Amino acid sequence: MNITHSSQRGALACLSLCVLLSSLGTSIANVALPELARAFGVSFQQVQWVVLAYLLTVTSLIVGVGRLGDLIGKRRLLLAGILLFSLASLAAGLASFRGLLAARALQGLGAAAMLALA
C-alpha cells in the first residue's frame, strides 16, 4: 500500500496530539487544584487525589495496555483509549467530587492507551 507524504504527516500529527492530550491531563489538573478545593469544599490534601488518581492509573496500566495492544491490535485499542478519555473528560466536567476522582481514574486508563500505543 502506498501512503502519501501528506497522510503520513496527518497521522503523525494525530498521534502527537494523543500524547500531548494525555500529558496535559496532569498539568491542567495541577493548576486547577486550589479552585477545585474551593468549589467542592474539600481540603487541599483531598483534592490532590484528582491528580493522583490519574497518575496512579496511567503508571500502573501503561505497560499492560501496551501488551494488550500487541495482542488485540494497536489501532483498535488506541481508538478505544481516545473514546474512553473523551467520555471520562465529559463525566469529570459533570461530576461531584467522588465522581471526579472516578472519572480521572478512567481518564488515566484512556491516557495509558494513548501514551502506550501512539
Range of the domain at 111: 5-117
Q: What is the pLDDT at residue 10?
A: 83
Using DSSP, state whether 3 is helix, strand or coil.
Answer: coil
Nearest partner of 47 among 97, 94, 92, judged by Cα: 97
Q: What is the pLDDT at residue 21?
A: 86
Q: Return the residue matching grid coordinates 465522581.
A: 99
Q: What is the pLDDT at residue 17?
A: 85
Q: Could you tell me the maximum CA-CA distance found in the chain, to the nearest angstrom? A: 57
Q: What is the pLDDT at residue 113?
A: 96
Q: What is the pLDDT at residue 3?
A: 65
Using DSSP, state whether 58 is helix, strand or coil.
Answer: helix
Number of domains in the chain: 1
List, for residues 46-64, the tens digit of each pLDDT value: 999 999 999 999 999 999 9
Residues of the chain with pLDDT under 50: none
